[in-house]
Structure 1
Amino acid sequence: MHALIVVAHHDPRSLTHSLAGKIAEGITRANPADTFEIADLAAEGFDPRFSFADHAVHHREALPPADVLAEQARIDRADALVLVYPIYWWSMPALLKGWIDRVFSNGWAFDFSLDKPFIQKLQHLQVHLVEVGGADADSFQRHGYGEAMTTQIDQGIFGYCGARVVSSQRLLDSETADPQQHLQAAGVIGQRLFATLDETTQAPATACA
């Protein structure tokens, strides 16, 4: 099995990057035959800006740009897609949102046209979300932030394309809690990553504080 771990954080010393590393360690610890690739969007200089070229792709007037094709190929090679990112203003960073805007394009992630039925093209894809937040669990529940994020990301993005969000975990209190507890949790996520491939598609995704 092969996992693509996508990291959206500018600082390689960040907790976000450390969590991605622990997930990778967990994957190989569970089964040395399993592999992973870490896509560091900031270090690689991915351009998240949705351009005229991307607009043409959406209208099926042009092929995707080379950088988008490369990212789509990365996902196509993976059995699991893992997104690791800090929570900015109760959502994902602009870098990661732009990656999704450009990479999850019409014709690859879904088929939309006015004269044909809508087709979800990522029904084979299993997704794991690991979100790092500075607030506490009570804030997410009391204000409805957690439910809003689930609606816009789990359902609005991946559900729209047919991809299944197998797990969605929020590692909170990141500014005040001992980072070791989050790093330990990340290791467990990695170790269990491919065990979930055998679970039924009716199993609900989990949201953990």
Structure 2
Amino acid sequence: MHALIVVAHPDPGSLSHSVAAHVAQGVTLSGPDHSVDIADLMAEGFDPRFTAADLAVHRREAPPPADVAAEQARIDRADALVLVFPVYWWSMPALLKGWIDRVFANGWAFDFNLDQPLEKKLGRLRVHLIGVGGADTGTYGRHGYADAMATQIDHGIFDYCGARVVTSELLLDSETSDPLAHLNVARAIGRTLFDLPEHSTARAA
């Protein structure tokens, strides 16, 4: 089975990149038939701007641009999609959000028009979310940030397309705690990526 890990952070030496690498390591250790691809959106220069060309795709007036079609093909080859990202303002970075805005397009991720019910097209896809946050568990719980992120990302994005969010982890205290604990969690996620039952969602490390 094949996993696509998408990471969005400008610093290749960041904890987010280390987490992505440890997830990949866990995947490769989990079985000889398991493979992994890491999509470093910053290094690859993905353009997150939703332009008139993307609007034309949404309106079913034009095919996806080449860069979007390439990302869709990457996901089509994957059995599991893993998003690794720093938490910016209680959400994902603009680069990753723009990747979703452009890639999860009408006609590919879902079918929407006014003449028929919404069709969710990504029911086969298993999604794993790993957010790296600087605040502590108490802050997230006290202000409801974890629940807000679940509503916005798990439900608002992936459920709309029919994709199944299997795990949703927040690796917190990232600026003050020993990173080794987070990296061990990341490796464990990778090792069990294709074994976890649906809806085994966790919210904080």
TM over 0.5: yes
Structure 2 portions without partners, runs of 5+:
none
What is the match of residue 86 of structure 1? 86
What is the match of residue 202 of structure 2? 206
Runs of 4+ with >3 A deviation: none
> What does 1:114-129 align with in structure 2 at a 5 Å threshold?
114-129=114-129
Once the two structures are TM-superposed, the CA of residue 30 in structure 1 deviates from its matched residue by: 1.3
Residues in 2 aligned to 1:56 and 1:205: alpha-carbon distance in whole angstroms: 35
Once the two structures are TM-superposed, the CA of residue 204 in structure 1 deviates from its matched residue by: 4.1
SS at match of 2:75: helix
Moved more, 110-119 or 39-48: 110-119
The one-letter amino acid of 1:59's match is R
Residues in 1 aligned to 2:118 and 2:29: alpha-carbon distance in whole angstroms: 41
What is the match of residue 2 of structure 1? 2
Question: TM-score under structure 2 normalisation?
Answer: 0.98
Aligned CA-pair RMSD: 0.8
Fraction of identical pairs, as percent: 66
Residues in 2 aligned to 1:39 and 1:88: alpha-carbon distance in whole angstroms: 20
What is the match of residue 113 of structure 2? 113
- 2:142 aligned with 1:165: no
Structure 1 portions without partners, runs of 5+:
none
SS at match of 1:195: coil
Per-residue CA deviations over 1:1-31 (Å, capped at 9, x if unaligned) read 0000000001100000001000011011111
Residues in 1 aligned to 2:184 and 2:99: alpha-carbon distance in whole angstroms: 28
The one-letter amino acid of 2:125's match is L
Once the two structures are TM-superposed, the CA of residue 33 in structure 1 deviates from its matched residue by: 2.1
Question: TM-score under structure 1 normalisation?
Answer: 0.96
Residues in 2 aligned to 1:148 and 1:28: alpha-carbon distance in whole angstroms: 33
Residues in 2 aligned to 1:16 and 1:32: alpha-carbon distance in whole angstroms: 26
Residues in 2 aligned to 1:142 and 1:134: alpha-carbon distance in whole angstroms: 15
Residues in 2 aligned to 1:32 and 1:84: alpha-carbon distance in whole angstroms: 24
**Shift in alpha-carbon separation, 1:54–1:78, aligned structure 2, 3 A:** same
Residues in 1 aligned to 2:33 and 2:112: alpha-carbon distance in whole angstroms: 38
The one-letter amino acid of 1:156's match is G
Once the two structures are TM-superposed, the CA of residue 205 in structure 1 deviates from its matched residue by: 1.7
Per-residue CA deviations over 1:142-169 (Å, capped at 9, x if unaligned) read 0011100000000000011110000000
What is the match of residue 103 of structure 2? 103
Residues in 1 aligned to 2:130 and 2:200: alpha-carbon distance in whole angstroms: 16
Moved more, 25-34 or 76-85: 25-34
What is the match of residue 21 of structure 2? 21
Once the two structures are TM-superposed, the CA of residue 124 in structure 1 deviates from its matched residue by: 0.6
Residues in 2 aligned to 1:35 and 1:204: alpha-carbon distance in whole angstroms: 22
The one-letter amino acid of 1:205's match is T
Q: Kindly tell me the number of residue pairs found equivalent between the two proteins.
A: 205
